[in-house]
Structure 1
Amino acid sequence: MSNIYQPAGGLFGKVRRLAARAGVRRSLQTDFSAPVVSFTFDDFPRSAALNGAPMLERRGWNATWYTAMGFLGTTTHLGEMMERADIEALSARGHEIACHTYAHLDASHCDPVVFADDCERNCAELMDLGILRPRTSFAFPYGEASPGTKSALQGRYGAMRGVRHGINRKGDDLNLLKAVALDGGKAGLEKALRAVHEVDQAPGWLIFYGHDVRENPSEWGCTPDFLATVCEAVAALDLPVLTVGDTLAMISDKPLRASA
């Protein structure tokens, strides 16, 4: 699991991802007349919990932590990974601990039954730590899905997230939600800031996803200054920040409306 992943490229990779997007869709029914922002972290590295979470908490925000329990207490190319105490502390402070499979499997190369069983193992280990609702939402490792794995999981989670760039609006797929990366250095920061201003002008659900948060980040991580700049942009526009689970609870009751 610590090996650096290289997604399939070329025509084969493109066709496979198009098939995953087109198959087994669950349409988002909400007309967003007010924006909502969610911060999510995948896997997750300790640096995100130690450096990233306090930035959000100072503004009264919580994040969704897609946790792959097979990484517990290990070190990967993302740095030191989460420990039991990190998961428990984040949950106690109101963050959402959600599922990311146990062994960080690539759904596009995995039998759907095996993939679903691995997710169940992950949920069981989280519940052993006292996490009562790990099935609120799910993120596909590497952002890779397939129609078969979407079908196997769609009855288990309120929503599932990929890594395709974009803001979610009515008609988008709850089985493969779009997201905006917190990585990529200066160019990535500019893309993230554009997304903040876009969701303010054309409301929808902007989900950020990141990995490590440290001064010398991995290719899939960002610096503390990067994350702080994104947080400042969100706060400057007074955009509401909710966990993925809280957003799902809100939109299941009624469409989001701008406050009076």
Structure 2
Amino acid sequence: MTQTAYNSDEMVYRPRGGLAGRVQKQLTRRLGVTPLKINLDRPIVTFTFDDFPRSALELGAVRLKTRGWRATYFVSGGLAGVTNHHGELFDPQDLLNLKAEGHEIACHGFSHLDASRLHVEAVAADAARNRAYLKAAGLDDAPTSYAFAYGEATPQAKKRLLETYSSLRGVQPGINRGVADRGLLKSVPLDGGDDGLKRAVAAIKDAARNPGWLIFYGHDIQYQPSEWGCTPEFLDVVLHAVEHSGAQVMTQSDALAAIEARA
């Protein structure tokens, strides 16, 4: 199997685990940090969707729109038109439709690669290929936000990609507050069934008590979701909790701009 083979249930790529994987993650979190000072008196919530399945548009974007909110959609151009464990993924017209609705179209790397296993220039080249794909799809504005596929990165990749993007998101659980790493922003998953829903709601309450930047990341939204997805009811509960928390909801790029303006 290659890292680009991400299009069937039988070929789901899983990053390395064990001691080597834990050490790699700790090094990436501790080294190559680019500080982002966050000083908020009101929490900011950002909804992001990775890869992204069409259900994240059809059942996600619609729910956000009714509240006047917008999300950030991280696109891997190599996955366009694919059907995998998340269901049917986006097509180029979906990108244009989302952009027209005010959502942010962002970069997830063209081939959905594990950056922790690659030379830094290979990661940068894959990101450049994705930017070219987005431009060819009709999106003239270059993306300013990036999310590491699988949340896997290296200190070198963080620094290199920040030459092109304003912020990079990972999957380390938590709320960004105080001094965060602009090159590996923390996030909270929209998955995990009932336990995952409890964690998501708890994060919203945490952000309301001690204002910070809470980034959610999700994948498919289905009545029988994948391991990395959630049901429409799950999302409804999260949206309701955010609505009643007093948080501002912004895309990743807009949230970053608001945080930088306060700093």
Tell me how far apart the structure 2 counterparts of residues 101 and 221 of structure 1 sit (CA, whole Å). Answer: 20
The alignment's C-alpha RMSD in Å is 1.0
Does the CA contact (< 8 Å) of 2:54 and 2:89 recur in 1? yes
Q: Percent identity?
A: 46
Task: Indicate if the aligned counterparts of 2:208 and 2:246 stay in contact, CA closer than 8 A.
Answer: no
For 1:35-184, list aligned pairs within 5 A.
35-184=43-192
TM-score by length of 2: 0.95
SS in 2 for 1:238: coil
Q: Which residue of 1 aligns with 2:200?
A: 192
User: Retained in 2: the 8 A contact 1:97–1:134?
Assistant: no
Q: Distance in 1 between matches of 2:125 and 2:236?
A: 37
Q: 1:8 aligns with which of 16, 19, 31?
A: 16
The amino acid across from 2:20 in the alignment is F
1:180 and 1:209 in contact (8 A); partners too: yes
Question: Is contact 2:40-2:259 (8 Å) kept?
Answer: no
- In structure 2, the partner of 1:258 is none
CA offset digits 1:143-181 (Å, max 9, x no partner): 000112112211111100000000001211010000000
Q: Where do 4+ consecutive residues of structure 1 move more than 6 Å?
A: none
Structure 2 gaps, min length 5: 1-5
1:214 to 201, 215, 222: 222
Q: For 2:14 and 2:135, locate their aligned partners in 1 and report how far apart those are by CA, in whole Å.
A: 31
Q: CA deviation at 1:133?
A: 3.0
Q: CA deviation at 1:61?
A: 0.3
Mapped contact 1:135–1:158 kept (Cα < 8 A): no
Task: Output the CA distance in 2 between the equivalents of 1:240 and 1:213.
Answer: 23
| In 2: Cα distance, 1:49 partner to 1:240 partner | 21
Cα displacement (A) at 1:130? 2.5
Deviations 1:154-213 (A, max 9, x none): 111110000000000121101000000000000000000000100000000000000000
**Aligned equivalents of 1:216, 1:108: Cα separation in 2:** 31
**Secondary structure of the equivalent of 2:170?**
strand
| Cα deviation 1:75-97 (Å, max 9, x = unaligned) | 11111010112111000000000
Structure 1 alignment gaps of length 5 or more:
256-260
Which amino acid in the other structure matches residue 122 of structure 2? V
TM-score (normalizing by structure 1): 0.96
CA distance in 2, matches of 1:134, 1:188: 33
